[in-house]
Structure 1
Amino acid sequence: MSTSARMLRLLSLLQTHRYWPGGELADRLEVSGRTLRRDIERLRDLGYAVDAVRGVAGGYQLRAGGSLPPLLLEDEEAVAIAVGLQQAAHGSVSGIEETSVQALTKVIALMPPRLRRQMDALRSQTDNLVWGAPSAVDPAILTALAQACRDDEPLHFTYTARDAEPTERWVEPHRLVSLGRRWYLVAYDRDRQDWRSFRVDRIEAPRATGQRYRPRELPGGDALAFVQAGIRRIPQRYDVRVRVAADAEEVARVVARWGEVTPYDGGCVLTMSVDDLHWPVMVLAQLGAEFTVESPDELVEMVARVAETFARALV
């Protein structure tokens, strides 16, 4: 039996009785007393409270509150599961939001205290506006940033901005924002003496200082709006213009702050500046109204390809 399988069996046995004599527990696992003691220490290192009674009649038991089935995952695996459930809970997968919230609560409750503190930080320090599939983000970096936001702890990290060389940053982290397929850190940049948003997938080697800072007030107070405003200022690859046969207010509710909607000739005109045409295609599909793409030509071609794909699926 592998070490991981044996520890899973050990935890299962500890849950069935409040107290296990050491000899009986070792016999059940078919290991020596020395191996059993090492496995108990491994469980403690993972954050599970296992009390021991020494002596000839000694044994082990889970401390009160430790009787729930534990989560035997590597740190990054546990955080990845909780992050995925959090994204679903915020609407990244339609129709399972309530179920995801329930599952997320259970998963975090089963984590060892150390991992639970990381996920509590991630949940409490994140603002969300979700669509599409998430980008690749290192869970360890994500949780390190979340805990720094929660604890008002300055950070050093290496950052590679768009089309730029890596630079060293010294910041006061304020808030994490989950926006579409990206994660962003909103922070006060001490070297530039101004607020900045940083894409988390471009952050490397965040290093906590162990110090504390007095939180500053973010202009406008809304981290999500701050990130969105910054993205709109970045030159985008495509200028989108679409005539939509739908009420301007209905279209504006779908587009939110990511485009401009102008009433026109019984319908409206939707304009957007984007770096990726998948987003306007998703918006147009969600509208459920007739439309005509006026520009760019690349969007016309993408809509045609998507239409062909769906048409073939109906055959």
Structure 2
Amino acid sequence: MTRTNAIGRLRRIELLAVQLKQESHCTIKDLAAQHQVSARTIQRDLDLMREQGMQIDADRGRGGGVRLDGNWGVGRLNLGYAEAIDLLISIAVAEQMDSPMFLANLASVRRQLVASFSKDKRQRVESLKSRILIGVTASTYVQAGFVSPPERIVRALHQAFVDLEMLDITYQREDGQPSQRRIEPHFLLLKYPVWYVLAHDHLRDEPRSFRCDRILSAARAGTRFRLAAKDDFQNCFQDGGHLK
């Protein structure tokens, strides 16, 4: 087995352990489809998990399910790099919002996550954190029209933001009409609960702000851009907002 395949299998086993712990009924067929491997591969994974001491119960008969004993605790949390970055950034947002609830242990969690990164990756995380800004709470008028953006939009925007990559979007204007734009997502701004992307708009050739919940479609353009200064976007808001 190559090193890449071994790492992929270890990651799959970790995900299987969490899945079998959380879900009351899983079949080998369903697990194979979800993880895009054969049923025989899933069966070998389950055998290895049993050898490691995990109590995995299986129902007899055709279509029988498998589950992890409810009294067995899933072990250490093993995050991938992208997952750890997302968690660190979420912690940074919570800390910037100065909420007194549930913050007691966040500093400790952040230190442990940061310590797991190499020096160059720590610098990259710090750069990403500096590009996430907190503003004042959105007005009641804005909140009344807010809807959570679809996951596909969030994923495309997230990846373009992290990779400094241009994004082609269909944007719903204030008058309700769609508009095609190519944007450079330089910063993200949270005016709770509404997220905005502060971007260079190639259509207007100037910095603009876009409400994320008004982005109707998003596709990465495959072209990188150079990060601009935060001060370039100070004029994007004229409604009493501020950037930290």
Scaled by the length of structure 2, the TM-score of the pair is: 0.50
What amino acid is aligned across from residue 153 of structure 2 in structure 1? I
Counterpart residue identity of residue 136, structure 1:
S
Show the counterpart of 1:69.
Answer: 77
Alpha-carbon RMSD across the aligned residues, in angstroms, is 5.0
Alignment of 1:258-269 (within 5 A): none
For residue 192 of structure 1, the aligned residue among 204, 212, 217 is 204
Larger radius of gyration: 1
Counterpart of 1:211 in structure 2 is 223
1:149-160 map, 5 Å: 149-160=161-172
Are 1:99 and 2:105 an aligned pair?
yes
Gaps of 5+ in 2: 1-11, 22-39, 50-74, 117-124
Percentage of pairs with the same residue: 24
Q: Determine helix, strand or coil for the equivalent of 2:96.
A: helix
Q: How many equivalent residue pairs?
A: 175
Alignment counterpart, residue 214 of structure 2, candidates 181, 187, 202? 202
Residues 169, 191 of structure 1: 8 Å contact kept: yes
CA contact (8 A) 1:156 1:168 kept: yes
Residue aligning to 1:228: 237
Q: CA deviation at 1:125?
A: 2.8
Cα distance between partner residues in 2 of 1:8 and 1:209: 37
Distance, in Å, in 2 between the alignment partners of 1:189 and 1:37 is: 51
8 A contact 1:184–1:200 mirrored in 2: yes
- The answer for the alignment partner of 2:17 in structure 1 is 8
- 1:257–1:188 distance in 2 versus 1, CA, 3 Å: closer
**Aligned letter for 1:179?**
K
Report the secondary structure of 1:171's partner residue.
strand
- Distance in structure 2 (CA, Å) of the matches to 1:178 and 1:226: 16
Unmatched 5+ residue regions in structure 1? 13-30, 41-66, 111-118, 233-255, 259-315
Residue among 116, 129, 134 paired with 1:128:
134
Q: Counterpart of 1:170? A: 182
**Residues 158 and 167 in structure 1, CA contact (< 8 A), matched pair in contact too:** yes
Contact 1:146–1:175, Cα closer than 8 Å, also in 2 = no
* Per-residue deviation, residues 155-205 of structure 1 (Å, max 9, x unmatched): 101111223211111112211111232211111111221211001111132
Whole-Å Cα distance in 1 between the matches of residues 114 and 79 of structure 2? 9
Query: How far apart, in 1, do the equivalents of 2:41 and 2:206 lie?
Result: 61
Q: Which amino acid aligns with 2:191?
A: L
Change (3 A) 1:32 1:257: closer
Higher RCO structure, 1 or 2 (CA under 8 Å, sep 6+): 2
Aligned residue for 2:160, secondary structure, equals helix
State the distance in 2 between where 1:6 and 1:213 align: 35
Report the secondary structure of 1:208's partner residue: strand
- State the alpha-carbon separation in 2 of the partners of residues 88 and 193 from structure 1: 33
CA distance in 2, matches of 1:10, 1:160: 38
Give the conservation status (yes or no) of the 8 Å contact 1:7–1:39.
no
Matching of residue 35 in structure 1 with residue 47 in structure 2: no
Against the structure 1 CA distance between its residues 120 and 32, is the aligned structure 2 distance closer, same or farther, given a 3 Å change threshold? same
SS of 2:224's equivalent?
coil
Deviations 1:78-98 (A, max 9, x none): 999777644422225235445
Counterpart residue number, 1:88: 94
Aligned partners of 1:228, 1:135: CA distance in 2, in Å? 20
